[in-house]
Structure 1
Amino acid sequence: MIRRSTTRCSTMRPLFLTFPLALLLVLAPAQPMPLWGSAAPEPQGGAGEAADPLNPRVYVTNQDDATVTVVDAVTLELLETVDLREFGFGDYARPHHAQVEPDGSAWYVTLIGEGKVLKLSRENRLLGTVETEVPGLLSLDPDRDLLVVARSMTAVSPPASVLLIRRSDFTVVDEIGVLFPRPHALTRHPTEPFVYTASLGMNQLAAVHVEDGSVELVDLPGPPHGIVQGAVSPDGRWLALTAELSDRLLVVDLADPSRPVPHRELPMADGPFEPAFTLDGRWLYVTNLEADRVTVVDTEGWETVAEVSHEAMAQPHGIGLSPDGRFVFVSNRHQAGGIHDHHGGHATASGTLLVIRAGAHEVEAVLEVGRYAAGVGVPAPPRTGGTP
Structure 2
Amino acid sequence: MHKSKVTTSRGATAVWALFCAAAPVQGATGQDGSPGSPSYYVYVAAESEDRVDLIRFDGTVASLVDSVFVGRFPTEIDGPHGLAVDPDGERWYVTLAHGNPFGAVVAYSTATNRPAGSAELGFFPATMQVTPAGLLFAANFNLHGEHEPSSVSVVDVGAMIEVARIPTCTMPHGSRLTSDGSRHYSVCMMDELLVEVDAHRLEVARRFHLAPGAEQPWPHDWMPTRPAGAPVCSPTWAQPSVDGRRVYVACNRNAQVLEIDVESWRLLRRFETGEGPYNLDVTPDGARLVVTYKGGQATGVWDLASGEEVARVPNTRTLPHGIAVSPDSRYAFVSVEGVGGQPGTVDVIDLEEGVRAASVDVGKQAGGIAFWKVEPR
Q: TM exceeds 0.5?
A: yes
CA deviation profile, 1:154-184 (whole Å, cap 9, x unmatched) = 2234652111001111111111112x21112
Partner of 2:63: 77
1:284 to 289, 293, 300: 289
**Which segments of 5 or more consecutive residues in structure 2 lack a partner in the other structure?**
1-27, 213-230
Q: Which amino acid is 1:119 matched to? A: A
Q: Does 1:322 align with 2:326?
A: yes
CA distance in 2, matches of 1:129, 1:56: 27
CA deviation profile, 1:20-40 (whole Å, cap 9, x unmatched) = xxxxxxxxxxxxxxxxxxxx9
Partner of 1:188: 177
Alignment RMSD (CA, Å): 2.3
1:134–1:158 Cα contact (<8 Å) kept = no
Partner of 2:45: 61
Partner of 1:231: 239
Partner of 1:295: 300
CA distance in 2, matches of 1:173, 1:46: 47
1:103–1:379 Cα contact (<8 Å) kept = no
The within-5 A match list for 1:1-388 is 41-42=29-30, 44=32, 48=36, 57-72=41-56, 74=58, 76-85=62-71, 90-114=75-99, 115-122=103-110, 123-132=112-121, 133-141=123-131, 143-156=132-145, 157=147, 160-178=150-168, 180-191=169-180, 193-215=182-204, 216-222=206-212, 223-254=231-262, 256=263, 260-310=265-315, 312-335=316-339, 347-379=340-372
> How many Å apart are 1:249 and its aligned residue?
0.6
**Aligned in 2, Cα 1:301/1:95: closer, same or farther, shift over 3 Å?**
same
**Aligned in 2, Cα 1:324/1:102: closer, same or farther, shift over 3 Å?**
farther
CA distance in 1, matches of 2:34, 2:46: 24
CA deviation profile, 1:351-388 (whole Å, cap 9, x unmatched) = 1100011222111100010111111111499xxxxxxx
1:130–1:171 Cα contact (<8 Å) kept = yes
1:65–1:91 Cα contact (<8 Å) kept = no
CA distance in 1, matches of 2:82, 2:44: 8
Q: Which amino acid is 2:232 matched to? A: P
Question: Could you say which structure has the higher strand fraction?
Answer: 2
CA distance in 2, matches of 1:198, 1:305: 26
CA distance in 2, matches of 1:206, 1:166: 21
> How many Å apart are 1:48 and its aligned residue?
4.7
Q: Which amino acid is 1:323 matched to? A: P
> How many Å apart are 1:72 and its aligned residue?
2.4
1:272–1:287 Cα contact (<8 Å) kept = yes
Q: Which amino acid is 2:323 matched to? A: I
TM-score by length of 2: 0.79
Q: Identical aligned pairs, as a percentage?
A: 27
CA distance in 2, matches of 1:192, 1:111: 24
Which secondary structure does the structure 2 equivalent of 1:356 belong to?
strand
TM-score by length of 1: 0.77
